Structure 1
Amino acid sequence: MGTSTARAMWERLEPVHDLVYFAPEARRAADELGMRGFWMGYFALRAAPLGAVPASVVTACFYVFHPDRVARALPDAWRYAAPPDVLAARERAMEAAMTRLFGPEVITSADMAEAADLAWNAAEAADTAGRPLAAANQALDRPRQPHTRLWQALTTLREHRGDGHVATLVAHRLSPVTAMALKAATGDSDAALLREGRKWDVSDWAAAEAELRERGLLTEDGALTAEGLAAHDAVEAQTDSLAEQPWQALGREDTARLAELLTPLAAAVRTSGLLPSGNPVGLTDTTV
């Protein structure tokens, strides 16, 4: 597969966005709100832009999680903190995490302000029709500080891509578990990490692999067939295509400049040790 603009930008924005899952400041913020454990904090922090929606809505939007995993966190999380309070805590956590990781000189630099404004312009221009997580994030107020403004803009763009990815999986008749099993068969992500993190049983995973074998996408030993590789590549290519619009709106020069400004930030996150081994977020470009 060639590298599209959308994929190149995602490889740079995803690590910065992922601070909300893996930075200790995010876990501390969730704990201080009264959230019970990592997963309640995860779902509350990510779903808060949607409002106090039930577990069924979040399960549909996040796609790959077993409904029981979500239901253990929501709607109980909203009894501990209302979504506006969660959003305020999320912003404070990202302010602290980015300051610690990138340093005061970087977050107060002209480059940071420029990156924030470019990313905000792209996120503001994103077409969010049919993209609930992107629309919910896009509707949030513009953060005052450049580095938290950058994080929020990148989050809107990340969820814009993710919403398109879910639509693509549905169009390709890939259920949550078959989608993860197909991804794991590429070697990009660890199968056990995906299955256990999303709370699917071994039997669910086995059934998904059996379905993929019946469709001619996996061999008996779990490797991708030529058809399976083609199916995987088609999903990724369509996801990229559906994510191009914000970058087209931003323009080639400004997108290239934002990529340049994001590259050292993404590298700092990826070399920080914060992202877990096994690559649950599916990043593929090891050079960023």
Structure 2
Amino acid sequence: MPTARDRSQRWEEAVADAMARALWERYEPVHDLVYFAPEVRRTADALGMRGFWMGYFALRAAPLGAVPPSVVTSCFYVFHPARVARALPDAWTYAAPADVLAARHDALDAAMTGLFGPDTVGSAEFAEAADLAWEAAAVADTAGRVLAAANQALERPDRPTARLWQGLTTLREHRGDAHVAVLVGQGLGPVEAMVLKAAAGESDGAFLRETRRWELADWDAAGVGLRERGLLDAGGALTPAGAAVRAEVEALTDAAAERPWTTLGTDRTTRLAGLLDPLAHMVESSGLLPPGNPVGLTRGTYPPVH
């Protein structure tokens, strides 16, 4: 029979998991400005990037340095190698990673100022959010988390806009690195992971396949493999076993993303969540985020921070 200490430990772990998910729901939309804000696209074009995807890979991979496409394919996990290879290493012939890093902070400053307004980004509350996010990111455990470690190693920006975005991005990649590790541990390859995500109703499958540049044959083969494992039924819907695996993936991801929030503490984590709420809502209502919901966010409502 579980002891009182066991029950208390499980309760604390459940609270930490809930905090990790609640904060992700709030910081993901703000992070996503780097992909979809027009100010960022103009900045990427000015750097010489050829099209959206070259800008995407350069802006996201810049903390790693001028690594080959195989490294980025491994870290980003769900993209077809050919999608990455069309962008890298060519992007580094137009702009060095250090120049891309500086440019993305300028672009996010312009994007946040334009969307949130100069009064908001110049407020004491915005600076507080930036400092809390940076503090949480600084204590994130990055062993085995390459993208998180690369982002965490960057210098602290002076501007609150850049500091908030960079802190949230480190936290986002920290969670993402853990998610990839969980998928590998569950034996879910890149396409299988996306097929399962789409079957759970969290994202649009066609959008995922086309933007990540997989062939329909790859998608169908992944579906066959998932049916053979009993995770999908003949119609492509989740079986009870598939739903259980999907829930386990999310639970393990939440658990692996706990440390920044347990270290920051419940009160300050709750405070950061409250400060991020209006910013996330503004991003989601802006029309900037594409349909298809590739990251599986629950749009419009956020889980409470316990």
TM-score normalised by length of structure 2: 0.93
Contact 2:139 2:260 in 1 (8 A): yes
Task: Establish whether residue 113 from structure 1 lines up as the match of residue 118 from structure 2.
Answer: no
Task: Establish whether residue 161 from structure 1 lines up as the match of residue 212 from structure 2.
Answer: no
SS at match of 1:248: helix
Match for residue 269 of structure 1?
A: 283
Separation of aligned partners in 2, 1:85 and 1:7: 33
Q: Equivalent of 2:70, from 47, 56, 61?
A: 56
Separation of aligned partners in 2, 1:249 and 1:6: 12
Q: CA deviation at 1:147?
A: 1.7
Separation of aligned partners in 2, 1:229 and 1:285: 21
Match for residue 31 of structure 2?
A: 17
Separation of aligned partners in 1, 2:123 and 2:300: 27
SS at match of 1:25: helix
Match for residue 71 of structure 1?
A: 85
Q: CA deviation at 1:4?
A: 1.1
Pairing 1:102-251 to 2, within 5 Å after superposition: 102-251=116-265
Q: Give the unaligned 5+ runs of structure 1.
A: none
Match for residue 59 of structure 2?
A: 45
Select the structure of larger CA radius of gyration: 2
Contact 2:28 2:172 in 1 (8 A): yes
Letter aligned with residue 209 of structure 1:
G
Between the aligned residues of both structures, percent identity stands at: 70
SS at match of 1:12: helix
Match for residue 94 of structure 2?
A: 80
Contact 2:261 2:269 in 1 (8 A): yes
Q: CA deviation at 1:148?
A: 1.3
Separation of aligned partners in 2, 1:145 and 1:78: 26
Q: CA deviation at 1:216?
A: 0.2
Match for residue 9 of structure 2?
A: none
Q: Deviations over 1:122-143 (max 9, x none)?
A: 0001110100000000011111
Separation of aligned partners in 2, 1:108 and 1:55: 38
Contact 2:281 2:300 in 1 (8 A): no
Separation of aligned partners in 2, 1:237 and 1:246: 16
Alignment: residue pair count: 288
Separation of aligned partners in 2, 1:147 and 1:261: 14
Letter aligned with residue 82 of structure 1:
A
Q: Deviations over 1:178-213 (max 9, x none)?
A: 000000001110000000000000000000000000
Separation of aligned partners in 2, 1:242 and 1:7: 11
Task: Establish whether residue 254 from structure 1 lines up as the match of residue 284 from structure 2.
Answer: no
Runs of 4 or more, structure 1, over 2 Å off, are: none
Letter aligned with residue 209 of structure 2:
R
Match for residue 11 of structure 2?
A: none
SS at match of 2:188: coil
